[in-house]
Amino acid sequence: MVTKLLEGHSRFRSEYFENERELFETLAKGVQQPVALMLSCCDARVVPNIMVNASPGELFVVRNIANIVPPFGRHLANRSVGAAIEYALHFLKVPHVIVCGHTQCGGLQALAEGLGTLEAETPTLAAWLQDAVVVRERIASRWPDATPEVVARQLVFENVVVQLENLLTYPVVQRALDENRVEIHGWVYDLVAATLRVYEPKANEFRPLQPR
């Protein structure tokens, strides 16, 4: 598998890089002006740049299990997410921040099934998912008789809403909003159909992205 990846790099150099050499030379000179900070899951089936057809330099991406945004000030183990948010908004002045979840998320499936089985063998993962327990609690209060499958699917959408709420706890985000220089977005990507649903805050619902 490593050989395959190295061979892939060789093809990247001879094909993509050669065709986009001017772009890469510009980026290498220190010109970094991403159009968005995307907070996404690290699931290997979800590739943000490919998903939105973005070129190198256009996305500032943070990926973690279940696209979680720990609330501001939460214990230091989660500081990497906060550091990236602050860097993107304070220094890069990104005009958009996107929290992007996806269907069939393994982390949220584990959350739906309960974290007890994870704590013995993967305690760090279990601790990380604790930041999303509030999502499961919301689902349980709204659909107390839902099957695990329904809970897992609803978690995907509710999780994005909760992480958007957590995003607003960061002072750097509030400053950018007060200065009217950033927009916040919530998306859910469907792995099977390769479609996006976009969160509409006023209606509190996710709507299919209409083709343009």
Q: What token pair was written down for 39? A: 């907070």
Higher pLDDT, 10 or 1: 10
Supply the CATH number for residue 188's domain: 3.40.1050.10
Measure CA 176 to chain center: 19
Looking at the structure, tell me whether residues 128 and 182 fall in a common domain. yes
Domain identity same for 79 and 161:
yes
The pLDDT of residue 77 is above 60? no
| Count of domains observed in the chain | 2
User: Quick one: pLDDT at residue 20?
Assistant: 92
Q: Is residue 170 pLDDT above 90, yes or no?
A: yes
Half-sphere exposure for 141 (CA within 13 Å, toward CB):
7
Residue 112 has pLDDT above 90, yes or no: no
Domain span at 124: 34-208
d(C-alpha 92, C-alpha 90), whole Å: 6
Mean pLDDT within 137-165: 88
Tell whether 23 and 99 lie within a shared domain.
Answer: no
**Does 156 share its domain with 53?**
yes
Mean pLDDT score across all residues of the chain: 92
Please tell me the predicted confidence (pLDDT) of residue 151.
Answer: 82
- DSSP helix/strand/coil, 173: helix
pLDDT digits (tens, 9 = 90+) for 13-63: 999 999 999 999 999 988 789 999 999 999 999 999 999 999 999 999 999
3-state secondary structure of 65: helix
Same domain, 63 and 110: yes
Residues 104 and 187 in one domain: yes
Kindly report, residue by residue over 183-200, the tens digit of the pLDDT. 999 999 999 999 999 999
Instruction: Say if residue 202 is in the same domain as residue 111.
Output: yes
Asked if pLDDT for residue 76 goes beyond 60, the answer is no
10, 44, 47, 50 from 1: Cα distances, Å: 14, 15, 19, 21
